[in-house]
Amino acid sequence: MSKTDTSKTATHILPALPYAENALKPVISAKTLSFHYGKHHQGYVDNLNKLIADTNYADLSLEQIITRAAGKPKKAAIFNNAAQIWNHTFYWQSLTPKGGGEPPAALKQRIEAAFGSVDACKKELASAAVSQFGSGWAWLVLDGEVLKVVKTANAEVPWLTDMKPLLVIDVWEHAYYLDYQNRRADYVNAVLDKLLNWEFALQNAS
Ligand code: FE2
């Protein structure tokens, strides 16, 4: 870049995966992780950097980009790519190789207060994940002080409507199709039972 080039430099980078690409098998294969993280997530980062180069979005944080582009039809591509970067980074953290099982006691109490039991919470998450028509996300969130399950379509993020995400499950087909084909419910139930990172949810709820 020459000294007279005043163009801004977009610098969003793909965050590191918190585990190896083969760490989530057999629930999620290394092949799925390789494509999902290495191609899809990376693709959103590359697209966003191209879309915002030399624009007034170039110097903003990812969260600022999402907030500014939300609800603006002409900025839909920027919003979708930025929000998909955020959602995927949150999704990788929502999973852990030895996940599932019982939530930590402090979270378990809150789940039982809101849903009756951990199983009832998981059933509601599964129902949201399976019933989301087309691409989207199933979330455990805090709405004020209330724990809730919500789903969002495409790249939508719950914090734009003031809900605090605790956990998310990606239900875009690219998340499960190589391993489960059309059996979204099997993918969702396996994630809930074996990969869900309750410690991450507790950190986010604190
Ligand atoms: Fe995805």
Task: Please list the ranges in the chain whose pLDDT falls under 50.
Answer: 1-6
Distance of CA 64 from the midpoint of ligand 1 (Å): 21
What's the pTM? 0.94
**Domain-located, residue 8:** no
User: Are residues 152 and 81 part of one domain?
Assistant: no
Query: For position 161, what pLDDT does the model report?
Result: 92
Tens of pLDDT, residues 95-113:
999 999 999 999 999 999 9
Query: For position 61, what pLDDT does the model report?
Result: 96
Query: For position 3, what pLDDT does the model report?
Result: 42
Query: For position 11, what pLDDT does the model report?
Result: 87
User: Are residues 113 and 77 part of one domain?
Assistant: no
Q: By residue range, what is the domain housing residue 137?
A: 105-205
User: Are residues 188 and 135 part of one domain?
Assistant: yes
Distance of CA 102 from the midpoint of ligand 1 (Å): 26
**Domain-located, residue 39:** yes
Where is the domain boundary, 60, 94, 128? 94
Among 112, 105, 119, which residue's Cα sits nearest to residue 198? 105
CATH number for the domain that contains residue 137: 3.55.40.20
Distance of CA 38 from the midpoint of ligand 1 (Å): 11
Distance of CA 35 from the midpoint of ligand 1 (Å): 10
Distance of CA 178 from the midpoint of ligand 1 (Å): 13
Where is the domain boundary, 42, 66, 94? 94
User: Are residues 64 and 121 part of one domain?
Assistant: no
User: Are residues 196 and 147 part of one domain?
Assistant: yes
| Residue 100 to residue 125: CA distance in whole angstroms | 13
In this structure, what token pair is assigned to residue 126? 């599964």
User: Are residues 197 and 119 part of one domain?
Assistant: yes
Q: Total structural domains in the chain? A: 2
| Residue 43 to residue 61: CA distance in whole angstroms | 18
User: Are residues 112 and 82 part of one domain?
Assistant: no
User: Are residues 119 and 67 part of one domain?
Assistant: no
User: Are residues 137 and 46 part of one domain?
Assistant: no
| Residue 87 to residue 37: CA distance in whole angstroms | 12
